[in-house]
Chains A and B, each alone.
Chain A
Amino acid sequence: KAGVTQTPRYLIKTRGQQVTLSCSPISGHRSVSWYQQTPGQGLQFLFEYFSETQRNKGNFPGRFSGRQFSNSRSEMNVSTLELGDSALYLCASSLGLADTQYFGPGTRLTVL
């Protein structure tokens, strides 16, 4: 079974731009969660989608948004990028939120 894939793997943007990251979960998994990892804040939960519905949202500004498609693939969008948005963005898929989570390789975003 193929693992979780994330695209792109690396991204460089400038302040004020927007970015869209993509995550394809393991086949059959309907829950997709997004996390931001930075050296200062560690791993922080962004949001979770299940069957195209956002069920949980972390404490991030409205510039961070996401969606899930009918095939369970998910995208997250960050608008009006700030320097502090530079981070590793990780996507995890699972059967349900209470189940084992499997992480993708991450997208490393650098904002200049």
Chain B
Amino acid sequence: GIQVEQSPPDLILQEGANSTLRCNFSDSVNNLQWFHQNPWGQLINLFYIPSGTKQNGRLSATTVATERYSLLYISSSQTTDSGVYFCAVSLSGNTPLVFGKGTRLSVIA
């Protein structure tokens, strides 16, 4: 099956710093989503981005489907950005999402 690798596994930032999270996948995908899981376990969808670039406030994401990777940028990080960021992909419209192991982000005040 498709492999999804996220890096780095852990990241500690000072409040106000910027960061880049990476997601590599092993096959062509038609669906890629980024999620944030808060400390209480709630998964929030950040982006649906099988290709191209999107921005939402301090967050932006870029997927280069031909090179099989996606990047999530977090600017001016805040303590509320802490949690685990997951990348999930699927091969086709009829197959379920496969999740990476996540990047655990800790933002320190």
A interface residues, Cβ below 8 angstroms from B:
33, 35, 37, 42-45, 48, 55-56, 58, 88, 90, 92, 96-103, 105-106, 108
In angstroms, how far is the closest chain A Cβ from the Cβ of B47?
9
What residues of chain A lie closer than 8 Å to B43, measured between beta carbons?
Answer: 90, 92, 103
What residues of chain A lie closer than 8 Å to B35, measured between beta carbons?
Answer: 103
* Residue with the highest number of chain A CB atoms closer than 10 Å, among B30, B43, B102: B43
With A42-B99, A43-B99 in contact, is A106–B93 under 8 Å at CB?
no
Q: Which of B41-80 contact A (CB under 8 A)?
A: 41-45, 48
Contact of B97 with A88 in the complex, beta carbons under 8 Å:
no
Complex: how many Å from CA A43 to CA B35?
Answer: 12
Contact of A58 with B41 in the complex, beta carbons under 8 Å:
no
Tell me the dominant secondary structure on chain A's binding face.
strand
Complex: how many Å from CA A45 to CA B2?
Answer: 13
Contact of A56 with B96 in the complex, beta carbons under 8 Å:
yes
Complex: how many Å from CA A100 to CA B43?
Answer: 12
Contact of A100 with B48 in the complex, beta carbons under 8 Å:
yes
With A103-B43, A103-B45 in contact, is A96–B93 under 8 Å at CB?
yes
